[in-house]
Structures are given as structure tokens and as C-alpha cells.
Amino acid sequence: MDRSRSDEEKRMLETAARTLPGGVLGSSWFPDDLAFVVRRGAGSKLYDVSGREYIDYLMGSGPLILGHAHPAVVAAVREALEHGTTYFLVNEPIVNLADELCRAVRCAEQVRFTSTGTEATFFALRVARAYRKRDKIMKFEGGYHGGHDYALMSAAPRSPKAFPAATPDSAGIPHVLEGEVLIAPYNDLATVEALLAVYADELAAVIVEPFQRLIPPQRGFLEGLRTLTRRHGIPLIFDEVVTGFRFAYGGAQEYYGVVPDLAAYGKIIGGGFPLAAVCGRREIMRAFDPRLEGTPEFVAQVGTLSGNPIAAVAGLATLAELRKPGAYAQLQRIGRALRDGLAEIVRKSGLEAQVIGETAVFDVVFTDRPITDYRAMLTADGARLKAFNAECLRRGVVKGVSKIYVTLAHGDDDVARTLTAFAEAVDVVSRSAPAARA
């Protein structure tokens, strides 16, 4: 595609470089010559300030399962805006959304809203600590649960320690937390069982992405984790910020058939607006009740925009579309065509690479080692993935650093064009000199 930039976009990129750290909003994976500024989105496409069109598989990092500016969401939000933007009080849209979450999510007897997925996992852990009256938590190496201090322990360690020792992934995390977070290997039930045999009495909760980044759970892993945590009386938390309403209407709990005690939701439930939630059993969730304030059981949680009515309206409109007959079958059909097409391209290339994930979320990983946990992911050639992402962008396909999100807005024409771009990108990568692992 034409990579020439308009003067307006050049000025905006210069302003971003001056006013934003790194010139980005948090993650940067585009080479400077490929950077662009988004002007608008429509359906499966993005358009930049220079007028170029992109097929979008980033989709706002996942919330836009209907695509950009879906008419039903736009209409619902436009109507709701006439009645005000926020109240900081119980409101009709948020009550309706809470009711829908409790119907859809198997573990949800009550719901507490937040504004971000990071907050949702943060407060899920806090309420579990209050319930169990313990401080330590167990998480899985490579599992991402947002940007708070507990979550950024061993989320992406370059030099992992021996289990269960944790490694902070960010500057500014108090060193004392290294002793409060135990790390286990994903998909390794035997090691989890051994660690629980030693540490169960000290643990407040076990938190897990049921589908960890791109890695599906092996047969029996989630079921075994549920059995072990129940045996020890430890709350099990599913981080469903990504999987919620994506793998199935009931999320990973429905898709994999395992029900936790608490779950964190985000992304899709806000329909593209900031909204997330903690869902769970009533006996645990009761700690958020303000009538307990002043007692040892009370968990403080408040947010100016938590429970925002506009976000709730967008979420309700999104969920209504997902409830329509055939919605998930269509999502899986498009995802399967794209995922299997990419897998065939990779297979024919002869590269040491594979495509992993589910039909709604997947990506290519440049290693031939079976991927069952984070340490296997460390064998992947990160430089080749960056090159692949850049070559896709040169051809008008936007994807995340390591995720491809499929939506109901993507159609057969998008799949055909994308697979052509993927084939050309893989060809460039396969012809390049062997890259250093990164």
C-alpha cells in the first residue's frame, strides 16, 4: 500500500512524539516508517489521517467484537447521551447490564463494576484476600492480569526463576510483593498440586487466564485446578477480560465447562467504552456492601466512572447482537478460515513456526516447540514476529503484538485479502537472514 504521509499526519506524529512517552499510548510495535495516526474506524476497517485504509485485527485490543462504529451500538449510545453522561448512582442501564451478566456468567451471583480490566482483577484479588483472610496469591507464569503490582509479577519474565519465586516485570513494584505472589507453570497440574500441598494455607486465591494469552488449556487442566482449589478451600478466579463473551456467550466458563468462584470481565461488556466488572459468589461479593463499612469484612471499592450508563448502554447493545442466532457460528467460521489459512501458509513456508490459539483469538509463533506454557513461548523468535507484523502493516493489515482478534465485522473478502498479505509477509520473513531471538 502507499506509505506516503500527508503533512497533517506528519505534524500529528511529531506532536505525539513530543507529548506522549515514546509517542505511543502504552505499546509500540510499529517501526517509525510505519507509524500512523487513526482518524476513524468503520466495520472491519481503520482509516488514518492520510486517508489510508487498513483491515483491523487489533480492534481496540479486543472490545470491538462487532467491529468499529456498529450501527446498533452507535444508535443506543446516541440516544442515551440525551439523558446525561454519568451519575455516580445506580442507574437503569447498569442495573440491566448487571442482570444480564448474572444470567450469562455461571459464577455470577453478584456484580461489582469498575472502569478497566486492571481494576477488575485488582479488586477480585482484594475481595478474595478479605474472604480468605490471607495475603498471598498464586498466579501462572506468563499470565497477564493488567497493570497493578500483583498482576505484573512474572507476567513476562525474560529470565524466569525457579517456581514458585516471582519476578517483577516493571520498575516501581514494591520488593515486598515478591514474597506475596507464588508462580506456577500453566498447564502443569502436577506442579500446581505440589505447590498447593505446601502453600495452600497461606493462599487467598489462585488467579488464571483460562486461555492464557494464546495458549489453550490442556485437557483436564482447568478441571483439575478447580478440584484442587475447592479441596483446599481457596477461591479460584478466572480472568475473563479477553475470553468473556468472545469464546461463547457465557465466556470461557461455558466454553471449557469449568466454573470459578470469581471472574473478572472487561473489553466486550463495555462495547468499546471503559467498563469492566468483578462477578462472583454472593458470599464473597458481599464484602463490597457499603453497609459493612467500619467492620473487618468491608472491602473498599469506588470509582467515579464505575457503572457509567453510556458504557453500560454500549455493552447492552453489543450483547444483544451477540445473542442473535448464528452470531457465534459466524465468528467461528471466519476465525477458522483465517486461522487455518495462516497455518497452511506457515506450513508451506518451511519456517519453524506454528499457529496457536482458538478461532476467535490466535497468532503465529515462530518456534517448532510445542507450546503449552510460558517457557515454551520463550523459545519463539521474537524478531521474526516483529518482522511479520511489520510486513502485514505494510500491506494494510493491523494486528496486535501477539494477537489476532476476529470480529463479526470481518467478512470473506477481508479473509481473502488478509491471507494474501499473510502469505507475502511470511515469504519476506522466510527469505530474510536468520534473526536473533528477542
The DSSP result for 184-211, as a single string, is E-TT-HHHHHHHHHHHGGGEEEEEE-SS
Residue-by-residue pLDDT tens, the chain, 438 positions: 777 899 999 999 999 999 999 888 886 667 888 999 999 999 999 999 999 999 999 999 999 999 999 999 999 999 999 999 999 999 999 999 999 999 999 999 999 999 999 999 999 999 999 999 999 999 999 999 999 999 999 999 999 999 999 999 999 999 999 999 999 999 999 999 999 999 999 999 999 999 999 999 999 999 999 999 999 999 999 999 999 999 999 999 999 999 999 999 999 999 999 999 999 999 999 999 999 999 999 999 999 999 999 999 999 999 999 999 999 999 999 999 999 999 999 999 999 999 999 999 999 999 999 999 999 999 999 999 999 999 999 999 999 998 999 999 999 999 999 999 999 999 999 988 554 444
The pLDDT of residue 2 is 75
| CA 381 to chain CA mean position, Å | 22
The reported pLDDT for the residue numbered 1 is: 75
- Residue boundaries of the structural domains of the chain: 7-69+327-431, 71-322
* Domain covering 7-69+327-431 in this structure, CATH number: 3.90.1150.10
Task: Please give the CATH architecture assigned to the domain spanning 71-322.
Answer: 3-Layer(aba) Sandwich (3.40)
pLDDT of residue 438: 47
Residues with a known catalytic role: 144, 239, 267
In this prediction, residue 30 carries a pLDDT of 76
C-alpha of 58 from chain center: 11
Predicted confidence at residue 434, as pLDDT, reads: 59
What span, in angstroms and rounded, lies between the C-alpha atoms of 9 and 12? 5
- In terms of Cα–Cα distance, which of 243, 355, 362, 266 is closest to 315? 266
- In sequence order, what are the residues at sequence separation of 6 or more whose Cβ sits closer than 8 angstroms to the Cβ of residue 432? 384, 387
Residue with cell 518451511: 350
